[in-house]
Amino acid sequence: MRYPLRPGLLVILLCVSIGTSTQGTEPKTIGQIIRLDPALDQLLPENAVIEVLGDGFAWSEGPVWIPSGQYALFSDIPRNQIVQWKPDSGISIFRQRVGYSGPQPFTGKEPGTNGLALDPQGHLVACCHGDRSIKRMNEKGEFEEIVSRYQGKRLNSPNDLVFHPDGALYFTDPPYGLPKGYDDPGRELDWCGVYRLHDGHLTLLTRELERPNGIGFSPDYKTLYVAQSKSEAAIWKAYPVRKDGTLDAGTTFYDVSEFMGKLPGAPDGMAVDAHGNLWATGPGGIYIFNPEGKVLGRIDTGQRTANCTFGDDGSTLYITADMFFCRVKTTTRGIGFSDWE
């Protein structure tokens, strides 16, 4: 049944259909901050809370902050939507059918976009599960494919991505977006790789991880962190980056396999602050590591926590946690925000 829309009603309906905004109400909070080392007090204020900005999403992922518009975007993967959050107006739909644009209904559970990022020119770039590709939004607001194949074979389902200052795109390619996952008959590559795309050339950097997921650079871009979400080897690896952009052999940065199945979630997305601290989602929320791999504390959302990114002036950590979109105010800054002071 259709009803005529009154002026101003459309935004309300959008919020109901894709998630409830808490804009203009008493802030809702979830979870807790777990402090394991006094050094965490230099990164998170004593009164830090996990504030809910929106909820009701099917599976929120891949947040990115858009400095030119002062708003956040994130993926609701099962609904094949990119969602927008603005401080003054809350939640709305930004784009639909970017992750999967095919004519037939998608038979899997995760057709939409996953990781989102900005390239060095400020264009939005999206990992697209259903279309098994990575796309860039052009000046007209249209998404154009920039990579979908390695040596003629289709990628699995690009998951997360990060840019080097030289313009190179690094990304992970696990099978989570395929209708039948690892055992999908449509797979054309028999591995799950970490790749580098530079000047139109795609390089396979490593295929040693069976379930590569989140990815991020250290502040000096000399180390690439990659999360693995495999239950039996739930780890983060640190790879030295060579001058030509390829990787040396990696070492295990941290292992949380013992917590898999005991706490909600798995190693997934990550963000790195300007001091080199790694804010990485895993079982039990977001682990906060110093550059040496010591756990300083955890942002325990109580949910399967997918990803995080720094936004605003660089000191706010935006978080996607299952059905929730949240934020935590910190006293540090993400990489790259010093340029916007």
**Res 336: pLDDT:** 87
Domains defined for the chain, CATH in brackets: 56-271 (2.120.10.30)
pLDDT-derived band of residue 3, with 50, 70 and 90 as boundaries?
A: very low
The three state secondary structure string of the chain is CCCCCCCCHHHHHHHHHHCEECCCCCCEEECEEEECCHHHHHCCCCCCCEEEEEECCCCEEEEEEECCCCEEEEEECCCCEEEEEECCCEEEEEEECCCCCCCCCCCCCCCCEEEEEECCCCCEEEEECCCCEEEEECCCCCEEEEECEECCEECCCCCCEEECCCCCEEEEECCCCCCCHHHCCCCCCCCCEEEEEECCEEEEEECCCCCEEEEEECCCCCEEEEEEEECCEEEEEEEEECCCCCECCCEEEEECHHHECCECCCCCCEEEECCCCEEEEECCEEEEECCCCCEEEEEECCCCEEEEEEECCCCEEEEEECCEEEEEECCCCECCHHHHC
pLDDT in tens, 202-223: 999 999 999 999 999 999 999 9
List all residues 6 or more positions away from 9 whose beta carbon is below 8 Å from its beta carbon. none
> For the chain, what is the radius of gyration of the CA atoms?
19
pLDDT in tens, 165-212: 999 999 999 999 999 999 999 999 999 999 999 999 999 999 999 999
Task: Tokens for 232, please give them.
Answer: 């039996």
The whole-chain average pLDDT of the chain stands at: 93
CB-based burial label for 1 (10 Å; 0-12, 13-18, 19+): exposed
Distances in Å between the Cα of 147 and the Cα atoms of 116, 184, 274, 301, 319 are: 15, 21, 30, 34, 27
Distance CA 206, CA 208 (A): 6
pLDDT in tens, 292-319: 999 999 999 999 999 999 999 999 999 9
Distance CA 285, CA 211 (A): 19
Cα first-last separation, the chain: 50
Give the strand order in the sheet containing 251-255: 212-217, 223-230, 233-240, 251-255
In this prediction the pTM is 0.92
pLDDT-derived band of residue 36, with 50, 70 and 90 as boundaries?
A: very high
pLDDT in tens, 51-83: 999 999 999 999 999 999 999 999 999 999 999
**Res 334: pLDDT:** 97
Task: Tokens for 210, please give them.
Answer: 């069976």
